[in-house]
A and B are shown apart, each in its own frame.
Chain A
Amino acid sequence: MSKTLLIFRREFAGYFATPLATVFLVVFLAISAGMTFFVANFFDRGQADMNAFFLWHPWLYLVLMPAIGMRLWAEERRSGTIELLMTLPVRPWQLVVGKWLAAWAFAGLALALSAPLWITVNYLGSPDNGVILACYIGSWLMAGSFLAISACVSALTKNQVLAFIGAVVAGFVFVMAGFDLVLAAVRPWAPDIVVQAIASMSFIGHFQRITDGVLEVPALVFFISLIVFALWLNVQALDARKAA
């Protein structure tokens, strides 16, 4: 079996070795349901769609994805198992991809557990299921981006709490990037191209384009490129620690 897949399996099983996985899944569902029904007034909107559910995902993931990703490397470094892992006859990228895939699959599982909501919406009306599927794919990719960033930060420290905080801060930058508040602060002194570059990094902007309807290819490309770049950085971070 491929080494990446072996790492994936071990890491994915690791999530279920403690009750933490269950706690996480329950928290994820409780918060997303709570936001859907109470904050976004799912029923009062009188519309058969799941926008109320997806609306909050960038904010939800900002905290929850670092919680999944913080342990990926920090825990290996703290316990010393990183020495085993990094002296096996494998390439660092195989480890990086395997670990990220495990976290991403776990996020996917959490997302999949919201299926009853999808069924309910279909029961109440006739939503555009194509749009909902696009939203699920977009949401999962966004989760993957947050996770890739979290994994990368996790490779820099052996302290899970620091890894968590670092990942939240980094994710926050990407979430806030599209807000007028941020752009207004940059606009007076930065050239237009910089302002546009910052705006184009916005998680919320890209995610909204997906939730607004069609499966937007540029938005998907954005998330996928970001994942690839963050994983590449993760490999670099491991290399840098070797030379430290």
Chain B
Amino acid sequence: MVLVETRALVKRFGAFTAVDGISFKVERGEVVGFLGPNGAGKSTAMRVIAGFLEPTEGSAYVAGHDSQLDPVGARQSLGYLPEGAPAYPDMTVGAFLEFVAAMRGLSKPTTRERLGELIERIDLAEVWGRRIEALSKGYKRRVGIAQALVHDPDVLILDEPTDGLDPNQKHEMRELIRTLAPNKAIVVSTHILEEVEAICTRAIIIARGKLMADATPAEILARAPPRDPAIQQLVRTTPLEDAFRHITLESAGS
């Protein structure tokens, strides 16, 4: 079942084209890595899918609802972690998550049950009564994930969920995403390549707003240019990095 779809999505800011005709589909059970250099248009595309921005052309669908024409329908099935995991600094973790649950129309008993589960799963018990402004980056990001999971949505759009986390926290976040994967359609943006190999069933590479590749990590690896054994590498790169550089620099015409 296709849960996320974009059709020829275009987003311009004035004369600048941030997203340039991107089409893809994500089915239940897939974890799609949204990959690209900084400024490629990942966040912009995600904002359009989430319905925060209007597309200039084309359309985006979440669980079959057009995120522009039926925003409330689309958002009911969507959990969205915006870039930087924003949250109200003056609220406690508990109050914030209860607020989001109530705004999503969850009843008191359902909220209690869901939050109880999330406290365990995301390990929030320790900071439950603490103000969000006093949290470490790792906890803040976890609160952002919890906020996106409160209503157990079919679709998750996560903009750089592991950004700023230490290696252990990154590992935990990836495990969490993997355990969520079988029942949901998940789109994760990142510019960390190991992440794609670790959690993604598919990778979409965008550069300068254009979709450059849409394939499994293995297929993308196969696009790595052959190494010239004669050239000594000053900085060791992995084959995936080679493929990424090859694909994204291609678009820059160099």
Q: How large is the interface on A (under 10, 10 to 19, 20 to 34, 35 or more residues)?
A: 20 to 34
Q: Tell me the complex Cα distance, A202–B104, Å.
A: 42
Contact A87 B78 (CB under 8 A): yes
Q: Select the stretch in A76-84, A182-190, A218-226 that faces chain B.
A: A76-84
- Does A46 lie at the interface of the complex (its beta carbon under 8 Å from any beta carbon of B)? no
Residue pair B147, A84 in contact (C-beta under 8 Å): yes
Among listed B82-90, B176-184, B226-234, interface-contacting one: B82-90
CB of B58 closer than 8 Å to a CB of A: no
The residue of chain B having its C-beta at the shortest distance from the C-beta of A81 within the complex is: B86
Query: Least Cβ distance of A189 to chain B in Å?
Result: 36
Residue A1 CB within 8 A of the other chain: yes
A75 to B52, CA, bound (A): 17
Which A residues are CB-close (under 8 A) to B13?
244
A84 contacts which of B51, B54, B90, B100 (Cβ < 8 Å)? B100
Docked pose: A3 CA to B50 CA in angstroms: 20
Q: Is the CB of A79 within 8 A of B86?
A: yes
Contact at A6–B99, with CB atoms within 8 Å?
yes
Which residue in chain B gives the minimum CB-CB distance to A11? B88
A88 contacts chain B at the CB level, 8 A cutoff? yes
Q: Is the CB of B88 within 8 A of A10?
A: yes
Closest Cβ of chain A to B17, distance in Å, is 14
Given A6-B102, A89-B75, A14 and B90 touching (CB < 8 A)? yes
Give the shortest distance, in Å, between B84 (CB) and chain A (any CB): 5
A81 CB, min distance to chain B CBs, angstroms:
5
* Separation of A83 and B79 alpha carbons in the complex (Å): 12
B215 at the interface (CB under 8 A from A): no
Residue pair B53, A6 in contact (C-beta under 8 Å): no
Task: Tell me the A167-206 residues at the B interface (CB within 8 Å).
Answer: none
B72: A residues at CB distance < 8 A:
89-91
Q: In the complex, are the beta carbons of B52 and A83 less than 8 A apart?
A: yes
Known: A83-B47, A89-B105. A10 touches B99 (CB 8 A): yes
Find out whether the CB atom of B86 lies under 8 angstroms from the CB atom of A90.
no
Query: Is A109 interfacial (CB 8 A cutoff)?
Result: no
B-side contacts of A6, CB under 8 Å: 99, 102-103
Kindly list chain A residues whose C-beta atoms are within 8 Å of the C-beta of B53.
242-243
| Complex partner residue of A242 from B52, B84, B86, B103, CB under 8 angstroms | B52
B169 at the binding interface (Cβ < 8 Å): no
C-alpha gap A124/B100 in the complex (Å):
51
Distance (whole angstroms) from the CB of B41 to the closest CB of chain A: 16
Minimum CB–CB distance for B99 against chain A, Å: 6
If A18-B90, A84-B87, A89-B72 are given as contacts, then 4 extra A-B residue pairs at C-beta distance below 8 Å, sorted by A number, are A6-B103, A7-B103, A83-B52, A90-B103
